[in-house]
Amino acid sequence: MRVLIKRRVIAAAVVAGLCGSAADAATTITVAAFPALDAAVKAAIPLYKKLHPDVEIKLVSLAYADHHVAMTTSLATGANLPDVMAVEVGFIGKFAESGGLEDLGKPPYNAAQFKDKFARFTVPQATGPNGSLAAIPADIGPGTLLYRKDLMDKAGVTEADLTKSWESYIESGKKLKAATGAYLVASAADIKDIYIRSGLKDGEGVYFDKAGKSVVDTPRFVKAFELAKAAHTAGVDGKISAWSNEWSEGFKRGQIGTQMMGAWLAGHLQTWLAPNTKGAWRAAQLPAGAFASWGGSFYAIPTKAANKTEAWEFIKFLTLDKKMQIESFRKLDAFPALIEAQNDPFIDQPIDVLGGQKARQLWKVAAEKIPAIDVDKYDSIAQEIVNAELEKVIEQNKDIPKALADAKALIERRARRR
C-alpha cells in the first residue's frame, strides 16, 4: 500500500512537472548543427529568448562528418529530424536535390524576396534543380591567398609577383625555394582547384554543364593540370595535404610560403595551426584575378519537421537579423552572408595574425565577385576522381589529355543515375 501511495505521488509530481514546463514554454525547437557553427547558434539563443520568451531552443551538435551522416539518415527515415538543420556547402547540393527540405522560396516562407540581401553566390548554391530554395545562407568563406610576408621579403618577391599571373606565381615560388627553402604551396592540387573555378560565369558548374554532362576534358581543366604539373616540376610544391600533421607543422616551421583557402584560415592560423607565426602573414586576392569560395553554412527546414513556423522565425533571426549576423561576425569571425552585416565597422578592424592588415575589406570585395556557380550532387565524386587523376599526372607522368579523358569516363560511369 505504501509503495502504491509513493508511486502515485511520484506520478503526480511528474505530471505536474510536465505541465509546468509545458506552461513555461509553448514550443521547443531543435537545432542540429556542427562546430564551429554551433557557437553561432549558442550565441543566438539568449538573444532570441529575449524576443521570444515562449520558445525553447535545443541545440544538438555533432562533429562535421557525423552531423551530415546523421542528417542523411534522418532524412531517409523521416525520424529524429530537427526543426532547423544546419547544412555545410559540401552537402547542400545533395540535400537540396533530395526533396526532403522545405522549399523556402514558396509561401509561407517567401524567402525569395530576401535573395538580394545575401552574398550573390550563396543563394544559387542552395537552389535545387527545380528552382526550389532549400536553405538560407548564414556564413561564407571568401577565398584568399595568405602568404608569409617575411619569407617573401627575404626572397625579394612582392605581392604583385604572386598575384599577377599563375606563371609569375610559380616563378616566385622558385625564388622563394632558393632563398628560404620553403615551399610555395602545400599541394600542387591547390593550384588546380583554384584554376578550375576561375573564369566561371554565373550558372556554370565546376565539373558539370547544365545538361549534367561532365566538362572535365575542357581546356579549363587541361590548363589547371598543366599549371599544377609545372609547379611540381619546378619543385615548389610540398606534397602536403591540408589538415595533415605535416601541414600544421609546415606552417609552424615556416616551410609553407603561401596557402590559398577560405578567409577563415587566418583565424585557424592564429588559434592553433601556427600561433608562433602571428603577424608574419598577409592576405591578398587569389592569383590571376580568380575568385572562389571555401566552405559556408546554411540553415534549412526538413519537410517533416514538427515546428516549421517557429523554425523559420529562428532561421530568419540567425540569417537576416543584422545584429545577430554582426554578433557572430565579431565574436566568432564568421564572415556574414548578409551583405548589410558586411558593412559593419568591424570590417575595418586590423587583424593581428596578418600584421594588422585590414584584410576583411579585401574579403568583402572577393565575396561580391565570386561567381554564382551551379552545384551538382555528383560534385564530390567528380572532385575525388579528378584529384586521383592529377596525382597520376604528377607522380607517374601520365599524359594530361589521357588522364582527363579517363576522369570523364569514370565520372560518367559513377554519375549513371542522373
Partner 1 sequence: MEAPMSIDRSGAAAPAKSRRRLQPWEWAPYVFISPFFILFLCFGLFPLLFSVWLSFHSWDAATGLGGMTWVGIENYEFVLGDEWFHKSLFNTFWLAIASGLPQHLVAIPLAFFAHTYLAKYRNTVVGIYFLPFITSSVAIALVFNSLFSRDFGIVNVVLTSIGNFEVAGLHPLSWLFPTTNIDWGQPQYTKPMIAFVVFWRYVGWNTVLYLSALQTIPHDLYEAATIDGASRRQQFWYITLPLLKPMMFLAVTMTIIGNLQLFEEPFIITSGTGGLDQAGKTAAMHMYNTAFVDSDFGTASAVAWVLFMLIALLTVVNNKIFSQKD
Picking from 400, 409, 149, the residue whose alpha carbon sits closest to that of residue 257 is 149
Q: Answer yes or no whether residue 100 interacts with partner 1 by CB under 8 A.
A: yes
Q: Looking only at residues 380 through 409 of this chain, which bind partner 1 when binding is defined by CB under 8 A? A: 380-381, 384, 388, 391-392, 395
Q: Which is nearer to partner 1, 21 or 241 (CB)?
A: 241
Q: Which residues pair with 56 in a beta bridge?
A: 28
**Of residues 142 and 238, the one with the C-beta less far from partner 1:** 238
Cell 584560415 found at: 265
**How far apart (Å, rounded) are the C-alpha atoms in residues 144 and 43?**
27
Amino acid identity for residue 344 in this structure: D
Binding letters toward partner 1, positions 49-88, x by CB under 8 A = ----------------x---x--xx-xxxx----------
Binding mask 261-300 for partner 1 (x = CB under 8 A): ----------------------------------------
CA separation for the pair 229, 262 (Å, rounded)? 23
Nearer to partner 1, 22 or 76 (CB): 76
**Residue window 347-386: x/- pattern of binding to partner 1, with contact defined by CB under 8 A:** ------------------------------x--xx--x--
Residue type, 5: I
Helix (H, G, I), strand (E, B) or coil at 26: coil
Burial 26-36 (b: 16+ CB within 10 A, else e): ebebbbbbbeb
Q: Which amino acid is at 278?
A: K
168 touching partner 1, by CB under 8 A: no
Strands 84-88 and 27-33, by their bridges, are parallel
The CA distance from 162 to 164, in Å, is 6
Q: Which residues contact 390 (CB under 8 A, 6 or more apart)?
A: 188, 189, 192, 225, 228, 403
Return d(Cα 35, Cα 12) in angstroms, integer: 40
Nearest approach, Cβ of residue 399 and partner 1 (Å):
17
CB of 340 to partner 1, least distance (A): 32
- Residues in the chain, overall count: 418
User: What mask, x for binding partner 1 by CB under 8 A, covers residues 225 to 264?
Assistant: --------------xxx--xxx--xx----x---------
Q: Considering the rule CB under 8 A, would residue 99 count as an interface residue with partner 1?
A: yes
| Total site size for partner 1, rule CB under 8 A | 36
CA atoms of 319 and 341, how far apart (whole Å): 10
Q: Which stretch binds partner 1 (CB under 8 A): 24-32, 98-106, 208-216, 228-236?
A: 98-106
DSSP code of residue 370: S
Chain centre to alpha carbon of residue 269:
17
By beta-carbon proximity to partner 1, the closer residue of 91 and 114 is 91
Comparison of 255 and 277: residue with beta carbon closer to partner 1: 255
Q: Which residues make up the interface to partner 1 (CB under 8 A)?
A: 65, 69, 72-73, 75-78, 94-95, 97-100, 239-241, 244-246, 249-250, 255, 377, 380-381, 384, 388, 391-392, 395, 410, 413-414, 416-417
